[in-house]
Amino acid sequence: MKLKLLYTVRTLAFVTLTFIGSLSSQAAPDISPEQMQMLQKLPPEQQKALAIEYGISLNQIDQSEISGTFPEAVLPEKRNQQTVLSSDYLELRKQLELQKLEDEKAKEDELKRFGLGVFSTKPNTFAPISNLPVTSDYILGPGDTILVQLFGKENQSLQFKVNRQGTILFPELGPISVAGQSFLSVKNAITERIAEQKIGVRAAVSMGELRSIEVFVSGDSYQPGKYLVSSLATITHALYASGGVSESGSLRDIRLLRNGKIVKHLDLYDLLIFGNSANDVRLQAGDVVFVSPLGATAKVEGEVVRPAIYEIKGNETISNLIFYAGGTSDKAYLGSVNLERYTKEGFISLTTLDLSDSKSSAQPINNGDSIVINPILKSDLRFVSVKGNVARPGKYQWREGLRVSDIFPSVKGRLNKSSDLDYSIIVRTFNDRNDISVVQFDLGNAILKPHSIDNVELQPQDEILVFTRYNLEAFTKDFAIKETQDELLTILDAGQRAKLERVELSDSEQVKEKDPEIDFEKASLMTGLTQEEIELALASTRKKLLTPLLMLLQEQSAIGKRVQTAEVLGEVRFPGIYPITDRETVKDLIIAAGGLNDAAYLLHSELIRTNVSNYNAETEMLRIDLAKAMDNSSSQNIQIAPMDRLNILAIPNIRKQRTVSLQGEVKFPGTYVLERGETLGDLLKRAGGLSTYAHIDGAVFTREALRLREQEQIDSYAESIRQEVAKKSLRKSGSNFGSSASEQLELIEQMSGSVALGRMVIDLPAILDGDISKDFILEDQDLLFVPQFRNSITIMGEVQLATSYLLDKGLSYKDYINQAGGIKKQADEDRIFIVRANGSVYKPESGFWFGNKKNPLEPGDTIIVPVDSDYRDALSTWGAVTQIMYQIGVAANAFK
Concatenated DSSP letters for 793-850?
EEEEESBSS--EEE--TT--HHHHHHHTT-B-TTB-GGG-EEE-TTS-EE-TT-S-ST
Give me the CATH number covering residue 587. 3.10.560.10
pLDDT over 70 percentage in the chain = 74
Per-residue pLDDT, averaged over 753-778, amounts to: 84
In a domain? residue 128: no
Q: List, for residues 788-805, the tens digit of each pLDDT value.
A: 888 888 888 888 888 888
Residue 50 binned pLDDT confidence (cut-offs 50, 70, 90):
low
Cβ atoms of 267 and 279 within 8 Å: the answer is yes
Same domain (yes/no): 307, 346: yes
In a domain? residue 76: yes
The DSSP symbol for 861 reads -
In a domain? residue 879: no
Same domain (yes/no): 262, 315: no
Q: Residue 371 has what pLDDT? A: 92
Cβ atoms of 737 and 811 within 8 Å: the answer is no
Same domain (yes/no): 287, 302: no
With CA atoms as reference, report the closest residue to 191 among 146, 138, 137. Answer: 146
Q: Residue 178 has what pLDDT? A: 84
Residue 401 binned pLDDT confidence (cut-offs 50, 70, 90):
very high
Cβ atoms of 266 and 254 within 8 Å: the answer is yes
CB-neighbour burial class of residue 33 (10 A; exposed 0-12, middle 13-18, buried 19+): exposed
Cβ atoms of 816 and 805 within 8 Å: the answer is yes
Q: Residue 430 has what pLDDT? A: 86
Query: Whole-model pTM?
Result: 0.50
**Dist. CA 189–CA 559, nearest whole Å:** 103
Tell me the residue range of the domain where 84 lies: 2-109
Same domain (yes/no): 478, 342: no
Same domain (yes/no): 362, 275: no
Top-confidence residue, 223 or 741: 223
**Dist. CA 474–CA 534, nearest whole Å:** 13
Q: List, for residues 321-330, the tens digit of each pLDDT value.
A: 999 999 998 8
In a domain? residue 33: yes
The residue among 207, 230, 248 that closes a domain is 207
Q: List, for residues 723-741, the tens digit of each pLDDT value.
A: 676 666 555 444 444 455 5
**Dist. CA 78–CA 56, nearest whole Å:** 22
Same domain (yes/no): 471, 581: no
> Which residues contact residue 597 at a Cβ distance below 8 angstroms, ignoring those fewer than 6 apart?
571, 572, 573, 648
pLDDT of 127 over the 70 cut: no
pLDDT of 171 over the 50 cut: yes
Cα 488-489-494 angle, rounded to 5 deg = 160
Strands 370-375 and 332-342: antiparallel
Collapsing DSSP to helix, strand or coil, 457 comes out as strand
Residue 6 binned pLDDT confidence (cut-offs 50, 70, 90):
very low
Across 299-308, 488-497, 713-722, least confident range: 488-497
Q: Residue 17 has what pLDDT? A: 38
> Which residues contact residue 727 at a Cβ distance below 8 angstroms, ignoring those fewer than 6 apart?
none
**Dist. CA 710–CA 708, nearest whole Å:** 6
Over the chain, what is the mean pLDDT?
78
**Dist. CA 518–CA 351, nearest whole Å:** 57
Same domain (yes/no): 406, 546: yes
Top-confidence residue, 880 or 125: 880
In a domain? residue 185: yes
Q: Residue 123 has what pLDDT? A: 64
**Dist. CA 138–CA 184, nearest whole Å:** 8
Q: Residue 146 has what pLDDT? A: 85
Q: List, for residues 765-774, the tens digit of each pLDDT value.
A: 888 888 888 8
Give me the CATH number covering residue 150. 3.30.1950.10
> Which residues contact residue 529 at a Cβ distance below 8 angstroms, ignoring those fewer than 6 apart?
417, 418, 523, 537
CB neighbourhood size of 228 (10 A): 18
Give me the number of domains the chain comprises: 8
Same domain (yes/no): 254, 161: no
Return phi, psi of residue 595, to 5°. 90, 170
Q: Residue 885 has what pLDDT? A: 64
pLDDT over 90 percentage in the chain = 24
Same domain (yes/no): 435, 520: yes
pLDDT of 888 over the 50 cut: yes
Residue 811 binned pLDDT confidence (cut-offs 50, 70, 90):
confident
Specify whether the backbone of 210 is left (phi greater than 0), alpha (psi in -120 to 50) or beta: beta
In a domain? residue 765: yes
| Helices (H), ranges, 135-281 | 183-197, 235-241, 268-272
Q: Residue 27 has what pLDDT? A: 46
Q: List, for residues 535-579, the tens digit of each pLDDT value.
A: 888 888 898 899 999 999 988 888 778 889 999 999 999 999 999
Collapsing DSSP to helix, strand or coil, 41 comes out as helix
With CA atoms as reference, report the closest residue to 764 among 807, 831, 823, 701. Answer: 701
Q: List, for residues 61-81, the tens digit of each pLDDT value.
A: 554 344 334 334 344 444 444
Amino acid at 420: D
Cβ atoms of 447 and 410 within 8 Å: the answer is yes
> Which residues contact residue 680 at a Cβ distance below 8 angstroms, ignoring those fewer than 6 apart?
701, 762, 767, 775, 776, 778, 784
With CA atoms as reference, report the closest residue to 92 among 45, 154, 50. Answer: 50
Same domain (yes/no): 58, 199: no
Q: List, for residues 80-90, the tens digit of each pLDDT value.
A: 444 455 666 67
Q: In 242-321, at which residue ranges do the beta strands (DSSP E only) sit?
A: 249-258, 261-266, 288-293, 297-302, 308-311
pLDDT of 660 over the 70 cut: yes
Cβ atoms of 420 and 429 within 8 Å: the answer is no
Q: Residue 825 has what pLDDT? A: 82
In a domain? residue 892: no
Return phi, psi of residue 310, to 5°. -120, 145
Q: List, for residues 433-465, the tens digit of each pLDDT value.
A: 888 999 999 999 999 999 999 999 999 999 999
The residue among 556, 589, 621 that closes a domain is 556
**Dist. CA 793–CA 776, nearest whole Å:** 30
In a domain? residue 894: no
Q: List, for residues 482-541, the tens digit of each pLDDT value.
A: 444 444 444 445 444 444 444 444 344 444 455 557 767 777 777 777 878 888 888 888
The residue among 731, 750, 785 that closes a domain is 785
Top-confidence residue, 91 or 169: 169
Cβ atoms of 335 and 352 within 8 Å: the answer is no
Q: List, for residues 409-425, the tens digit of each pLDDT value.
A: 988 878 988 899 999 99
Same domain (yes/no): 79, 29: yes
Same domain (yes/no): 304, 223: no
Helix orientation angle between 704-729 and 741-752, rounded to the nearest 10 degrees? 170
